[in-house]
Structure 1
């Protein structure tokens, strides 16, 4: 029994330690909130009511059970009839919150908290206040005084819950509700300590002096004045001028010296009290001011008041901006690697289809096998002239049925052999078995040869692409200390971020900065963005402000100068079911790619070639590979096929940041650019992809601008005698047309002119200036 008891005790202790370790943050918040709830629960306001403790309890979300214990203990310590009313009101309020969360699904329950909305918490405080007021009215004998107290209690509880929530809710810290919450906390703290003295020193006045000085040091003179008047109103209305002057001078003199600001503001405040309340005010408040100075100055020395987040933010590699920037860079790197992985997956799928077709016999190969096998059996057969009148030997037409069965992968039977003598073929079973065995051996050799080639190709292309991606990481995500230094020197960035600014990236800049004044950062984010644009000499996108605890993280990235809209249209060759051409567009970072591929010939074989080109190029370009690397990979893949396979490729690479463009042409038709009513022709004489071992794609560089329209077509849209002059002539008549209208017009013209003699694919791209609305 003793061993079982020890084991149970050990298990319980382990469970408790595990629970505390897992929920440490919530328990700490709950303990702090419990102390504040107990403190505010003793703050008596008008009509002998104390609604602030209940209001704070209703505003708490994290660590709510622990905070509830603090409120209950506070009520029991006070004792009397008020204890019953307060505990009842708290029970009704908490029950109301949980009911809304569970029954109406207006919130989310956690182990040590309740994530519900602001309206639910205000409603709960009203319900709790109504309970407290109802009990007071019943016990008080229905007096008018208690009715007025009930109205005040309900209004004060609802308003205080709203104000406290602005201080406690992280998602509302960027709004003015944050300042209202801070003001409510300051007022409630001083009011809760009214009448409490230690060794003749009023804790309420000590708290008022300390909070006034802290607010002035942290936020400046204006905040110091407001905090001073709030503290004066909570302690004694006659002391408002004294605390107001103290806060104003502390905020005004703090930039010179923290210690001078604190001491001179206290002295000036006391002399102001001397003017308003006489010598008694000076002597009665001087000890409290001295105690407050003894509290504030050490806190100032250890950096606990003036921008308390500053030390954590300006800690080199561990600063919040640096961490956020590193996390963003890591996230973008993961996205790049994910796209690279998707590229290999797509290529693997395409290669699997190619491999499956490569391991099957072609019809010509099957005919050769059938001819060899059947000739070995039929050459000495007496019935060969009956089976094959005339020559006495099988011909391709007679063997085509058996060859098709071999190509399909099915087993050849005697009924699949060439026409036989009516009396039957004496070698039918043996010939069919020999055909099946020969086909199996041939396909095995094809499979082994294909596996070796595919392995070699995969290893080479994977190594090349991953190496290129790794080499580009530093250029994309490396830190730009010079740009960061320029931003740190800006007054707005110095004021709000205290030097915690990070810039990374090469052409595509990413700006990250963090500071403690979340509300001001959020309100001034457009001003900060424009200042950064001027310093970096580039446009930035709409800035974002995210909140991490008590800090705000400002992020912005370079904005594109241009945008695009595009359309495509296609038509298959007459009497063909599929189009042998393909077109696609893909985006990767600041680049956009538009491609037209034209497979050899028409029909299914051409469609297979163009689809393979589209899959490989599209996946690799999306993964971040350069166009030359992607074309080389496609060329190597096409050359591995046993059957003849090639495709023309026309790629337009467009940079959204500066409008630079490049055409990569491999046997493709000329492209056209419509600018200000004039048509410009972009042509090249290069072989298609898949013919030569070393691909010689020609790159043509140019600058595109707002309003330009680019037209790319396959050869089915042009008369090959004048090599695609016709699409350019059509385009010249379509100035101002949309990409859809251009594609329809060129497609209709090709149908009228050539009557579906070839597959036709048309791709039109319109260049637009990017909108930067802020």
Structure 2
């Protein structure tokens, strides 16, 4: 039997594996080189803590490489006489990074690295100052240098994170760009110390980066890079302060001419800086700067155009423009559809009112039609409808009450002239009964149709309001954070949650919202607390636990920034006469938008029917409000649902308190509900309004009121079963229990209400209390 030959590994795969292994080594080499360069960045000719800062900024596995480079840089420095304390500081930073628990480093990583940098620079500096007797000058220098090390460590940390994400410059936020700019400035300053002949490597690198920035970022990019590099050269020392103006102005002009090509751009920069050097610099400085500018321009032109194009960040701008256009189109469509639905509802109502008025039947029509049929062949017609007209009409009018009372008339019901002289009253009675039955049927059908038309009209207006709510929510989105959404998606995918969709955006107040959808079966294994902490670190915002909703086998999670306030709630319910169910329904809704909605609904009567109406009202409102629709539009749909739920009369009150947990602004909405009591600033306010409950009339609306609440304020919502003994006692009871917990306040109110019930009368009763808590 022949042995099968092993299939050779393709050369491409071997090369990929080789590069993959070398990529890690290359990353460590970059850290070592940067550490070496930054250790030679001397501020004002004597302060050089930047190698220590860079060592402390790296993660644990990269600290050794950065520290090795920094140690070599301090050992072979251009100013080695004062570097002993920096060498000790680097060794101390490496030791601390390696021996601190990894869990602590991850938990407090944002400020742990700057703290290590501060301590590593301060301790050797303080020891050296002690040898000199703690002179004030030495102490101030030591503290200043330690603070500088901590600050630059933070910049290095953020810059390294931004680069490791491998994002284009345009997708970075302002803070990351600032940290990259400062890191670039320090690297240029460090490279400025490396001189080959009369040429400074730092200034050559500065020229190349200024031209690249001008090519990618046009005028603003070139000017920012130029001013940064020029100021850095001035801080480095020597009489090169004129470079700040030369580099800045030259970078701006190079950006303006970038559209004409790299050659024109480089020539403009060389001309501006060459003239500035010849006019403002000495002869030695002029020639040095000219050499450096020329060399930097040549190196810039040698960079492949494909590499330059990869730095140009038009992709984000086009994406933003497309997103903005798409949002405007969607908003326009939503508003148009909302207006159209509202117009349909209003037009339907107006047309029906006109047609209904034109076709409405009356008792006069019944009597007139009956008289036409019976009296037209009667020989006494001219007498009855002539000289006895008023007597005949009185007789017909007298039959109206009989018809309404009995539903029919007989010949014996005729009175007066008609009872004595009418020879066809038996036939006339039969015709009147027939006509009245037809009239009653038409009126019943018309009433039913009117109710249905009213329900449909309410539904049109409710849907119109819903579309308007969606439009308002979209309008509130200020900016979509696409790069952040990509990073969040990568995090969820790395944790094996298989995200279906991820979005991140800021609203008009600058607050961040993160939304993600994952398969429902994966939600159970998510530690929402840990995930919230990870996302907070990733987004650099304090987020709170997500609001979760289920839609089509997907779990939708919504994270928002941490609110200023929280609420402490308690509820008590009592069933009338010990029945199994209570006719009231309570609900506390967190909508995932920084608001909490407190709902109380009281169904008509008590028992199962009342419980069904109130539970249906609360359930529908919860679903609609959680989906992002307003209470006004939701109430119209709930009202329509109650009207068509059954042939029996159904109604329920709606009591809502919506608390904005960012500002404390609270809105109270009432539809036939009992008063709400608000404890604020040591006094109790009664919030009540006249409005109809849902399910009894078409076109029901909320009565509204707004109040501003703060820490320690209370909201007390009650059903009418709590007010059988009046409401005056509630003011004093809330004041007496205001310092207690929510559960204790609810119990105090319930016990007092029981004692004040008149004649032992019982009813369904509910209490929902809410305390505003400051969690800042």
> Could you say which TM-score interval applies, normalised by the shorter chain?
0.3 to 0.5
TM-score (norm 2): 0.46
> What TM-score results when the alignment is normalised by the length of structure 1?
0.46
